[in-house]
Structure 1
Amino acid sequence: ITLCNVAAVAGQFLSHKASGILSIVFDIGGVLGGISAGFLSDAIGARAITSALFLLLSIPALILYRTFGSISMRHNIALMFISGYFVNGPYSLITTAVATDLGTQDAIKGNSRALATVSAIIDGTGSVGAALGPLLTGYISTRGWNSVFFMLIVSISLALVFLIRIARDEIVAKIGARR
């Protein structure tokens, strides 16, 4: 499934070249989002809060892309960049910084096998998602592309649910540190 098969801009389906460029725009947004998420996370000292914020903002970004991305190529490029920024922004935090944080917990400290296990679980989970995502997308796309965007939003919402407790703990720690 490629963008040229699903995205129409100003009533015209995209060429392979145009869809490839839009994919690159999404990735560039993701790279800059990852850098921004890293800076923000370091500045406030809260990885889960940063990840949750980016995930939360990715939901309206996807809705805006689906709603207004077909108006013109400029709209599509801008909204594709914004979607990449917020969707892929927390990825680097989750795959690297969170693995490091988990590996330095008191229960794991000094146990290199446990750190390797934590990293493998995070990496393996990502691989399962990378394998199942396109399969699920192909199946769900038969019901229309609104269904695919709904699936993405549900997936992001589930990620937020898993982050809520950790983000809450970070907020409580930040409030407690100020007192």
Structure 2
Amino acid sequence: MRRAAFLLVLILAAGVAWVGWQRYGPRPLAPPMAPAAERVDHILIEKSARRLTATLEGAVVMHTDIALGFAPDGDKAREGDGKTPEGVFTINRRNPQSAFHLSLGIDYPKPEDIARAKAAGVDPGGDIFIHGQPNGITALTLPGDWTAGCIAVSNAEIARLWSLTPIGTTVEIRP
């Protein structure tokens, strides 16, 4: 009986110690906050997650949902296929007079895209942008994948991204 009482007291003491540790013990360090960003140096597009993440020196500055080309699965192979290209690109132009609310141009097609399309006897396409909604649409974001191969975000998000993204920023587009 004494042995059972001792075990019960030991179990209770261990339980109290565990609860105390969980409540008052040291906490893991919080991840660092992003610097007060004036620029981003990398944009990651995750096609399958429909997500854009912009970072500065690895710290997340912004996340946003995206829309893609109307046939988004796979890499862009030719003009008109409705696919958003995959790979590593660079922002090479900024267009404030776009048919969409602001646009950041991506340097697609690359030489390897041109060679692949030429071998297939097709045009690789071009004019791939990260842009807002069509001009005239101000209060809503079009649902689904609706672009011809570009990456679309809300007008508020493209305004923010536009202000943070210089020419030369790396854009990585993953499946």
| TM-score with structure 2 setting the length | 0.21
Query: Which of the pair is proportionally richer in strand?
Result: 2
Which structure is larger by alpha-carbon Rg, 1 or 2? 2
| TM-score with structure 1 setting the length | 0.21
